[in-house]
Structure 1
Amino acid sequence: MGLRPARTCKTLDKQAYTRFSKKKPDKSYIKAMPHINLHVYRMGDKAKKYERQFDLTAEEDLQIRDNSLEAGRQTANKQLEKLIPMQYYFLVRTYPHNVVRENKMITGAGADRLQKGMRQSFGRPTNRAARVVREQIIFSVWANAIHRPIVKEAIRRAKLKMAGRYRLVEREPTPIIG
């Protein structure tokens, strides 16, 4: 079965579902945790001094799935690496802790006889998502001022991969963490 649209799990109206314990499995609400698609969080040259910092911030409270974060990260990093190789530092600031559940529905002939409908509709863990609040930083890019248009274009391309509304904030660089 394919991936459901992001609009089905974008809002923060449901309670966070994250409890998973390796040491005490009987305390876990989630028995099998879905794997994370987001593997790399730091890219570029951390050692250099940069003139500007560009932050991608959320304009609303929302959930962003890990595959969406990964697609945005890959797109932005590919653009930056191609145009200004090793003259930037790129950091993913969010981590997908929340587990997304999905109540699978059967389609096709005779599905009504097999399907339970909304009875016992709790769903099974299928994906992970990051719960993001308004003004929270999702991506940060450190670069020099002459590379401003390249960084803006890279972040614009990353925004297209993720559901929701975002804003690019440019400011004086803070010390690089992580």
Structure 2
Amino acid sequence: MGDRPARIYREQPSQPYTRQSQKKSDNFIKGAPAPRVTQYDMGVKNGDFEKTVKLVVEEDVNIRSEALEAGRIAITSHLNKVMDPEEDYFAKILPYPHHVLRYHPLAGVAQADRYYEGMRKPFGRPIGRSAIIDEGQKVYKIDVDEGDVQEARRALERATHKMPVKCRVKLDQ
């Protein structure tokens, strides 16, 4: 089964479902899937860079872990073409996808309402994870030297195409 459209999960929940316990019998969510993000830090972890370029979200949103990973791939593929990943930059994904997304399938055939009477908002089974992001929160940051700021901006602009909401690229000193 493919992913459901992002618009279904875009709004922020009133309370995130994140309960995972050490004892399996205490879990509220059974078998929550792992986030799709493979790594959060790329490039030189201990480098000393002059500038920081960041991607900031312009409204409250849930961002699926698949979208975070797609943005990471867009950033690293562009930066690896124009810079040396061993010494020229440090990129980081800042939010962690804690929120568990759920799905309860309904029958889509005629007279299906008699099967699901009283099941309007059931708990559902976990299908993925997302990060709950507030307006103005940073999603990605890239540390570079003064001469590579434009390439970092281009990389983050490519990542905006993978996000489910409008984003802005900002420069920190």
CA 119–113 in structure 1, closer or farther in 2 if over 3 Å, else same: closer
Aligned-residue offset at 1:106: 3.9
Partner residue of 1:10?
A: 10
In structure 2, how many angstroms separate the alpha carbons of the residues matched to 1:163 and 1:171?
A: 24
Q: Distance in 2 between matches of 1:46 and 1:119?
A: 49
Which segment is superposed worse, 30-39 or 94-103? 30-39
| Aligned counterparts of 2:118 and 2:96: Cα–Cα separation in 1 | 31
**Residues 93-130 of structure 1: CA deviation (Å, up to 9, x unaligned):** 110000001122344x6783895376263221101000
Query: Which residue is equivalent to 1:78?
Result: 77
Q: In structure 2, what is the Cα distance between the partners aligned to 1:144 and 1:115?
A: 61
Identity %: 31
Distance 2:111 2:148 in 1: 56
Distance 2:63 2:131 in 1: 5
Q: How many pairs does the alignment contain?
A: 170
Q: CA offset at residue 57 of structure 1?
A: 1.4
Whole-angstrom CA distance in 2 between matches of 1:102 and 1:63: 15
In structure 1, what is the Cα distance between the partners aligned to 2:74 and 2:114? 42
**Cα distance in 1 for residues equivalent to 2:93 and 2:139:** 6
> Match for 2:20: what amino acid?
F
Distance (Å, rounded) in 2 between the aligned partners of 1:138 and 1:20: 24
1:55 aligns with 2:40: no
Structure 1 unpaired stretches of 5+ = 173-178
SS of 1:43 mapped into structure 2: strand
Deviation at 1:139, TM superposition (A): 0.7
Match of 1:44 in 2: 43
Give the AA of the match of 1:152. Answer: R
Moved more, 67-76 or 115-124: 115-124
Shift of the 85–62 alpha-carbon distance from structure 1 to 2, 3 Å rule, reads: same
* Aligned equivalents of 2:124, 2:14: Cα separation in 1: 14
Is 1:155 aligned with 2:156?
Answer: yes
What RMSD in Å do the two structures reach over aligned CA positions?
2.0
Q: Which residue of 2 aligns with 1:176?
A: none
In the alignment, residue 20 of structure 1 is paired with which amino acid? Q
TM-score of the pair, normalised by structure 1: 0.87
Mean Cα displacement is larger for which, 43-52 or 74-83? 43-52
CA distance in 1, matches of 2:76, 2:135: 24
Task: Name the residue aligned to 1:35.
Answer: 34
